[in-house]
Structure formats: structure tokens, C-alpha cells
Structure 1
Amino acid sequence: MADDTIASIIALHQPRRPKTGPQRSRAYRPRKRKTTKAAVSSDADAPSSETLIPIDFSSSNPALPESSVISPSTTTSRGVTPSYRPVASIFLLFAAFALAGVGVTTNGWFARSLGSSDIAGWLFLAIGVAADLVALVMPSCAAGLWHSRQRATSLAGWAVWAMTFVFAVTAGIGFASVNITDVTAARAARVTTAVTAAQSALSDAMSARDRECMHGVGKFCREREATVAERRQILDTAMASVGQAADPQTGAAIKLVAWVTHGALQPSAHDFVMLRLILLALLPQIGGILLMVSRLAMRPS
């Protein structure tokens, strides 16, 4: 009886035999599949980072500024926002300085031409250049003051700009009118072949009239007078054609407007001359406005 009990105890506590390599691999594969499925299920059931942050977290915590709360949309928008300046604003800045340079030069030249002496001319030059520089930089300064809520100072700046702008436009009108008139007169005074022939024919007619009318007014004298009047009209027509050719832009613009509007608008030469004068005087003075617009466009929103 004792021997049987001892034998059963020995059989129960007998050590297991070590597993071979194929047996261990077969036992490891099921455990690996179970571990992988458990990890996938735990990741799917885990809450995302967006659900962990309450929606009203930034509003409920006044001590935390809104700019410190990072959201996916904010990160994405910051990632795709370009950091370079717009090319159009840079070109607009160059155009502003180019027009400003033209305006300062023309206004300074015309202001100096008004002086009766050298000292007066240089003083007028200083006034013209200073006024044009104020008209250039004042819009940007006034807009900055308005943006910083200094409204009274900004309005005062705009008032100063209006005075300098009117002065600069007036000087530009003087510069353009003087130069256009001189050039047109010089072109109109050209002696063409038609004008030379008309002048020669008129001279011959006047000589013949003087010889015929020397002894009194008669039938042939009146005929020579009519010939002189006819030759003078031919000369006036030839000179008028030269005068019209002196400013071909005016005639071409009138024809173009009449053609585009099918004859509904037919401006006169005087209308186009005034329009051209205004544009030539006004465009060099808008450099300050262009500079203000370019700076506002470059400012980050």
C-alpha cells in the first residue's frame, strides 16, 4: 500500500520533457495572433486627442489665451500660409517711387522757372520738392495713425496732404502746358514744301497786283486783287494742315472715340487737350496713394 502511494506521488511530480523547436514555434504563433488582435482593438477603442480636449476649454479657462490653444485646423492653416510678400505689392511700390521721382523733378523744374532771380528760383525749387515729398509720404503716415486710433492727428495729416497735393498738381499742369505748347508751336512753324509753294505763289500774285494797280484801279487790278486773295487762302490752308500735323495725337484720339461709340460721342480737340493735360499733371502725383496701398497690401492680416 505504501509502495503504491509513493509511486503515484512520484508520477505526479515527474518533470516535463523540454519541447522541441517545431513544438515551440507552433505554440508561439497562436499567442502572437492573440496579442496583435488585443493591441488593435485597444487602439481602436482609445479616444482621440481631439475628444480628450473639451470644446469649450479655451472659453471656460480665461487665464489661457486663445492663441495658445493649438487645434489641427490652426496647424494646417499655418503650414500652408505663404511667408513671402506679394509680387504685385512690390511692383506697386516700385511704380510709386518712379512716379514720385517724376513728380519731384517736374514740380521742382517748374517751380524754379517761376523765380525772377537765381535766389528766388532756388527757393521756389525747395518749396516744390518739399511739397512733393510731403504728398508722397503723408498718405502712409496718415493711414498708420488712423489704424492706431489717433484719428485727430490722422485727419490733420490728410488735410496737409490735400494742400500739398493741390500745389503739386498745379505745378504739374504748368510743366505740361508749357512743354506741350512749345513743342506744338515748334512743329506748327515748320516750313513744308506746300507752304513754300504757296508763299511763292502769293508773292508773285502780290507783285503782279502792285504793277497793275500802280496807275489806278481798273478791271485788271481787281482781277489781280482776287488772285492775291485766292493765293493767301491757299497759304492759310497749307499752314493749317501743318498745325494739325503738329499734334497728331489729338486728331487720332477724336477719331478713335467717334469710331468706338459709333458717332455717339464726338469730342472736340479742346476737350482732348484738357483731358491730356489733367492726366499728365495728375498721374505723377499719385505716388503717395500707391505707396500707401502697397504698404497695406504687404502688412500681414
Structure 2
Amino acid sequence: MAEETIASIIALHQPKRGKTAAQRARTYRPRKRQRAKAAPDAESPSSESLIPAGFFSANTAFTESPVTPLPLVTSRALRPSNRVASILLMAAAFALATVGVTTNGWFARSLGSSDVAGWLFLAIGVAADLAALVMPSCAVGLWHTRQRATSIAGWAVWAMTFVFAVTAGIGFASVNMTDVATARAARVTPAVTVAQSALRDAMSARDRECMHGLGKFCREREAAVAERRQILDGAMASLGQTADPQTDAAIKLVAWVSHGVLRPSGDDFAMLRLVLLALLPQIGGILLMVGRSAMRPGAS
């Protein structure tokens, strides 16, 4: 009897076995259907239905208008002056390059002893000027692409062509300025005409008086001729000074600005002018490089 009671107690306290996947699925399906039936068919009332009608404004003019996004503005649009300055700089570069090619080609052709030699010198001068124009921009582009050796070689070639172009420009400027100064100095002014006429009269009088030998009156005529010759030389010297009024005015201006501390001579200013006239037409390549760099994206 006792053994049967213990066996029944052990049977009652045995642990439950776990359900299989199929059993769990059959148990979950009825629960899911019950939840779907218990869910309300109608949605909850919106917040607008809870607000009384009196609180709505009758005037709809104060309704908020839709906000339109502002268009994106690039830095280049904000700085139109940079683009204009770059275009003007490039135009100045091409203008100077045109002048440089023309002047250097003319001077190079004048060095030829024959027509063939002249045209060959012309080709050399034009090619050198064109290389000096475009080489800086190409060298900078190669440097940005990390082709450093090629860029350095380009700058070396530019230096050679630049020196050649400057020397040709010096020749062109010096020849033309000398010709102009000589032509101006050879002008005949009324003062020169009077001095020349007086000298001729004095020489005629001397010849007549000294025909019969040297004497007191002959020596007087000789002194008169020397005096008239000095007057003519003075008139010619003053005419030579007025042949280049720019130099005289520049010397006076420098002396006035420096309160007499600086007193350059005419040769000093003439050399400065010669260097500038020869150098300026050859900087077109540098201006072109700066203008192109300013027009690149990202340039300020």
C-alpha cells in the first residue's frame, strides 16, 4: 500500500516535457487571431478633432508660407571682380606679347646680311617670344601635377628665351631712340639759321681782309669768325638738349621730389628708360600665368 502511494506521488511531480516547434506554432495561432479581433477597427481621433472650432483663426492670411531654400552661391559668383581682373590681365599679357613678338622679329630680321638670313633671324625671334609667352603657364601646370623635373626644365628654357627676347628688345629700343634723337637734333631752327648766316658773313669778311696778308684787321676778322662759331655751337647744343625733353623733365622731377638729394644725369635716365622699354614687352608670359592661376577653381 505504501509503495503504491509513493509511486503515485512520484508520477504527479514528474517535470513537463518541452513542446516541439509544431506544437508551439499551433498554440500561437489562436492567440494571434484573438488579438486581431480585440483590436479596434477605428483609429483614435486626431488631435485636430480635440481642438474646439472657436480656436481656429478665421483669417488665413497669417498662415505660414512654405520656405523655399536659398540657391547655393559659389565663391566665384560672390567675387565677380576677380574674374574681370583675370580677363583684363590676360588681355594685357597678349597685348604685350604681340608688341614683343613684332619688335623682336623686326630687330632680328634687321641683323641679317641677306634676305634669307633676315627671315631666319625673324623666325628665331618670333619662336623665342612665343616660347617665353606660354612656358610659364606650362611649367606651373607641370609643377601642380608633380612633374617637378619637367617643370624645372621648362623654367630653364623660359630663362634662355627671356634673356634672348630682352636683348632683342634692347636693340630695337636703342636703335629707334638714337634715330629719333639724331633727327631731332638735326632740325634747323631760326636761331641756328641766324648763327649759320652770321658765321658765313664773318668767314667771307675774314677771307677778304686776309687776302693781302696777316695784319691787324685780319686778326680781328679771325676773332669774329671764332666768336660766331661758338654762337653756332651753342645753338646746336641747345637744340640737342631739346631733342629729348623727357630726360630733362625726369631729371628735374627727381631732383625736386628728393629736395636736391638725388641728381641723376641724362645717361642714368636714358638707361632706365631703355631697360623698361626692353623688359615690359617680355613679361606677357608672367601676366598670362598669373591670370590663368586666378581663374582656376578654388582661387580666392
Structure 2 partner of 1:186 = 183
**Structure 2 letter corresponding to 1:121:** G
Structure 2 partner of 1:81 = 75
- Distance in structure 1 (CA, Å) of the matches to 2:198 and 2:239: 18
Give 1:31 shift: 10
Alignment of 1:11-90 (within 5 A): 29=52, 79=73, 81-83=75-77, 86-90=83-87
Structure 2 partner of 1:294 = 291
Q: 1:266-290 CA distances to partner (integer Å, 9 max, x unpaired)? A: 1000001100000000000000000
Distance 1:31 1:107, change over 3 A: same
**Structure 1 letter corresponding to 2:236:** M
Give 1:213 shift: 1.5
Alignment of 1:203-282 (within 5 A): 203-282=200-279
**Structure 2 letter corresponding to 1:130:** A
Structure 2 partner of 1:3 = none
Q: Give runs of ≥4 in structure 1 deviating > 2 Å.
A: 27-33, 75-85
**Structure 2 letter corresponding to 1:166:** V
Structure 1 partner of 2:145 = 148
What secondary structure sits across from 2:211 in the alignment?
Answer: coil
Give 1:147 shift: 1.3
Structure 1 partner of 2:107 = 110
Query: Unpaired runs of 5+ in structure 2?
Result: 1-49, 57-68
Q: Does 1:138 align with 2:132?
A: no
Q: 1:7-50 CA distances to partner (integer Å, 9 max, x unpaired)? A: xxxxxxxxxxxxxxxxxxxx9529979xxxxxxxxxxxxxxxxx
- Distance in structure 2 (CA, Å) of the matches to 1:82 and 1:144: 21
- Distance in structure 1 (CA, Å) of the matches to 2:209 and 2:118: 59
Using the size of structure 1 for normalisation, the TM-score is: 0.74
Give 1:81 shift: 2.3
RMSD: 2.0
- Distance in structure 1 (CA, Å) of the matches to 2:117 and 2:230: 47
Give 1:259 shift: 0.8
Give 1:79 shift: 3.1
Query: Unpaired runs of 5+ in structure 1?
Result: 1-26, 34-74
Aligned length: 234
- Distance in structure 2 (CA, Å) of the matches to 1:30 and 1:176: 94
Q: 1:219-278 CA distances to partner (integer Å, 9 max, x unpaired)? A: 111111111111000000111111111111110111111111111111000001100000
Give 1:148 shift: 1.3
**Structure 2 letter corresponding to 1:294:** G
Give 1:217 shift: 1.7
Q: 1:64-117 CA distances to partner (integer Å, 9 max, x unpaired)? A: xxxxxxxxxxx9995352345621111000000000000000000000111111
Provide the identity percentage: 79
**Structure 2 letter corresponding to 1:192:** T
Structure 2 partner of 1:43 = none
Structure 2 partner of 1:61 = none
- Distance in structure 1 (CA, Å) of the matches to 2:71 and 2:214: 101
Distance 1:300 1:28, change over 3 A: closer
Structure 2 partner of 1:163 = 160
- Distance in structure 1 (CA, Å) of the matches to 2:91 and 2:196: 53
